[in-house]
Structure 1
Amino acid sequence: MRISETDDDNWFDDAAGRLIRPYTVSNGRTEPSIRMELLSMVIATGRRPHGHLGPDHSQALDLCSGVTTVAEIAARLRLPAVVAKILLSDLAGWGAVDTRAPDPMADNSNPAVLETIIYALKQRL
């Protein structure tokens, strides 16, 4: 069993996956404080929250340097979408990110849109 050596991967094992349970990342919370969809757009504002950011919040904030979706951030963090939403809602509450509802044309019940999301997620994992 090899545990990754880099700072970003301290809590990730190549064979076992993430070594910290998702509910630990969200401090036991199960609902984000701000409503977001998988296709909601997120971007960093350039403002840093006061105080120390935990590693998951820092990673999420770094991923928001350009406009991206909640689904993309969840995939890159290798976290369940609801946990990513909780992290992002914390960042939004601190003024570090802005969120925007998905374009009404991006109907998440459209099979083509869902297939595109699934394909993108598989490419990241």
Structure 2
Amino acid sequence: MSPVDASPYDESGPLVRPYFLAGGRSRPARTDLELITLVVSVTEQIRETVSPEHARIVRLCREPCSVAEVSALTNLPLMVVKVLLSDLIDRGYLIHRSPPSTTEIPSRELLQAVLDGIRRL
């Protein structure tokens, strides 16, 4: 099994509690990490001592991955992954792109056009 495939879980459950992996934190420092936010490594060289989970995420993100993908590939809870990603972004190992946030509700005409397009499929 490669280091990327290693998991802190086995059949009996987690070997290390999630709050320990996140350094006792339950919320990430960044609030802009959504499920579909893309993260990618900007370097392969880790210049400091980081946890195995941090290093694993940097290796996984050589190609752009969504936050949800990172959680699934590492088999870690989403909130733990967000904390770890937040750490790596703040340290300069990863960059991220979040989708534009919109607060406006789509018009009825737009929704109808989408529905009509789906029906034509």
State TM-score, norm by structure 1: 0.70
Paired amino acid for 2:39: V
C-alpha RMSD over aligned residues: 2.1
Contact 2:7–2:74 (CA under 8 A) maintained in structure 1: no
Instruction: Name the counterpart of 2:94.
Output: 97
Pick from 27, 36, 55 the counterpart of residue 31 of structure 1.
27
Once the two structures are superposed, the pairs formed by residues 79-94 of structure 1 within 5 Å of their partners are 79-94=76-91
Counterparts of residues 1-125 of structure 1 (less than 5 Å): 8=3, 9=6, 11-13=8-10, 15-35=11-31, 36-46=33-43, 48-102=45-99
CA pair 91-48 structure 1, distance change in 2 beyond 3 A: farther
For residues 1-54 of structure 1, give each alpha carbon's deviation from its aligned partner in whole angstroms, at most 9, with x where no partner exists: xxxxx57337442x2243111101001101111120011010001164532111
Conserved? CA contact 1:38–1:69, under 8 Å: yes
Aligned residue pair count: 99
Cα 1:10/1:75, change in 2 over 3 Å: closer
- Equivalent AA in structure 1 for residue 15 of structure 2: L
- Give the C-alpha shift of residue 103 in structure 1: 5.6
Contact 1:22 1:83 in 2 (8 A): yes
Runs of 4+ in structure 1 off by over 4 angstroms are none
- Return closer, same or farther for 1:60/1:78 CA change in 2, 3 Å cut-off: same
Question: Are residues 10 and 99 of structure 1, via their aligned partners in 2, closer, same or farther at CA, if it must alter by over 3 Å?
Answer: closer
Cα distance in 1 for partners of 2:73, 2:7 equals 15
Q: Which runs of 5+ in 1 are unaligned?
A: 1-5, 106-125
Task: Select the structure with the greater relative contact order (CA < 8 A; seq sep ≥ 6).
Answer: 2
